[in-house]
Amino acid sequence: MNSFDPSRVTVRSAHFIGGQYLDGADAIDVARPSDGVNYAALPVADATLVDHAVQDAWRAFRTSDWARRAPRERARVMRRWAELIEADVATLAPLEALGSTRPVADAARWDVPFTAEGIRFYSEYADRIGGEVAATRPDHLGMTIAEPYGVIAAIAPWNFPLVMASWKVAPALAAGNAVVLKPSELTPFSVLRLAELAIEAGIPPGIFNIVQGDGRTTGDALCRHPKISKVTFTGSSQTGAAIMTACAQTGTKPVTLELGGKSPQLVFADAPDLDRVARRVAAAITGNAGQVCVAGSRLIVERSAAGRLIDGVASAFAALKPGATWAAGTTLPPIISSPQLQRIDGIVKRTLASGAQAATGGARMALPGCGDGAFYAPTILTGVSADSEAVREEIFGPVLTVQTFDDEDEALALASHEKYGLAAGVHTSNLSRALRMMRGIEAGTVWINRYGRTADFVIPTGGYKSSGIGKDLGRQAYEANLRFKSVLIDITDGA
């Protein structure tokens, strides 16, 4: 699918609880980032409604057979769900693109199939991890038994609404839990279609629920609910800290937190094909207009290669096609909201005022036919230091800072960020050097001679330092949705 008419896409604005839509009083205007038009109003679940949703999920967890049915049967239903999602791409892709930053062609080619495949991946774990027999003394049998938590709260960000939600929901459901999901109030609608399809696939009503609302009201009430046994969250480090606090104050609930980043891309002058590296560096900061947790926002380049790299990145930026998410050929989508655009511009302007230079970009863009769309020109900032605001802060936009180094020690020192440790890239043709860098960099993921994830679900993702706790994807994310009960049996018959 290459383009669509946004006026022809209608959304259902509601909660989804116990297998049914539930309307609420409209409270938040939801705008399309591509042209700034308000296209729907969103209800906000207060603590009473959150309680209703969680109690319903708890009842479904206890009374439906979701947790107790044969794991292969749970897996079969989840595979069916994945098939329905894939077959629904003509509905889901425009729904995803309409109010988010995902161009419809990308949503159709990537987000929707990736969401389905992630569900399939986790369905395959349903009967893989059951616990283990322990090597106890011979007159006893010791075991650990894997059990679901009960009701898990999943709180998702706006940058990839379907995919981020699926990374939370799929492993939790495959492990037998019930889930209450709160999507971002900026992109709340596409996941409702996932919930409809879950019911069609055979997931019992009440096992997958959605409550709508903002973080302060709905998200906080969800985290504090006594029947929530675990919270899995993706979003900013600041919100992650607030969620940890809420969970600690209301029962020391375990948390999985996938948080912000300020990831470095290290380029050595010996990297294979510097022009190709420049294109990769550019793609790593302009994909989804830089609104990616693992965006490679800090270019750290060997001094002798800096000029060539900056020129190469600038020409890759110039080849991008900014446009609405519903237009054909868009390769640079909008920023999610006007306040976020102003935040990006503020950081860039203050960094320039402190002595940095813009090799390209540095301002918002007005696009014909896009009204108040929030577009920002891809920007390269040189003349920055570790103290510059643009180097310290996660910008979450298409802004690349450039710092140069003369040797490996300096490269490593620059790569280290005082706060974040989500991901990093290293480009060099020297294998030993690549491995030394990999060992030295404090980050949850290191890519060597590439930048960004592949469509493999088996490699977990997650941050060091303030970039998070725990992992999404991989076996680790499945295990994190189980708790382990220890059992010890005396087999002596009292002898």
Residue 315: partners with Cβ closer than 8 Å, 6 or more residues away: 278
Mark residues 121-160: x for contact with ligand NAD by CB under 6 A, - for none: ----------------------------------xxxxx-
Does residue 111 touch ligand NAD according to CB under 6 A? Answer: no
Does residue 244 touch ligand NAD according to CB under 6 A? Answer: no
Structural contact between residues 490 and 279, judged by C-beta atoms closer than 8 angstroms: no
| Identity of the residue, 411 or 415, whose beta carbon is nearer to ligand NAD in the bound complex | 415
Choose, by CB under 6 A, the member of 234, 330, 403, 404 that binds ligand NAD: 234
Does residue 337 touch ligand NAD according to CB under 6 A? Answer: no
Pairing of strands 131-134, 140-148: antiparallel
Neighbours of 449 (CB within 10 A): 17
| Identity of the residue, 231 or 359, whose beta carbon is nearer to ligand NAD in the bound complex | 231
Does residue 338 touch ligand NAD according to CB under 6 A? Answer: no
The least CB distance from residue 245 to ligand NAD, in Å, is: 9
For the residues of 112-134, what is the DSSP string, one character each? HHHHHHHHHHHHTTTTT--EEEE
Does residue 216 touch ligand NAD according to CB under 6 A? Answer: yes
The least CB distance from residue 219 to ligand NAD, in Å, is: 2
Any catalytic annotation for residue 258?
yes
| Identity of the residue, 117 or 220, whose beta carbon is nearer to ligand NAD in the bound complex | 220
Q: Which amino acid is at 94?
A: P
The least CB distance from residue 185 to ligand NAD, in Å, is: 5
Choose, by CB under 6 A, the member of 150, 206, 219, 323 that binds ligand NAD: 219
Question: Left if phi > 0, otherwise alpha if psi is -120 to 50, otherwise beta: which for 206?
Answer: left
Does residue 242 touch ligand NAD according to CB under 6 A? Answer: yes
Enter the DSSP assignment of 322.
B
Residue 338: partners with Cβ closer than 8 Å, 6 or more residues away: 31, 36, 372, 374
CA–CA separation, 331 and 328 (whole Å): 9
Does residue 345 touch ligand NAD according to CB under 6 A? Answer: no
Active-site residue, from 117, 185, 196, 258: 258
Enter the DSSP assignment of 328.
T
| Identity of the residue, 126 or 210, whose beta carbon is nearer to ligand NAD in the bound complex | 210
CA–CA separation, 210 and 227 (whole Å): 16
Task: Give the footprint of ligand NAD on residues 155-194 (CB under 6 A).
Answer: 155-159, 164, 182, 184-185
Does residue 214 touch ligand NAD according to CB under 6 A? Answer: yes
CA–CA separation, 397 and 377 (whole Å): 9
CA–CA separation, 337 and 30 (whole Å): 10
| Identity of the residue, 71 or 260, whose beta carbon is nearer to ligand NAD in the bound complex | 260
CA 71 vs. chain centroid, Å, equals: 27
Q: Which of 286, 88, 68 is nearest to 193 (CA)?
A: 88
Residues designated catalytic: 258
List interacting residues with ligand NAD (CB under 6 A): 155-159, 164, 182, 184-185, 214-216, 219-220, 223, 234-236, 239, 242-243, 258-261, 293, 394, 396, 422, 461, 463, 468, 472
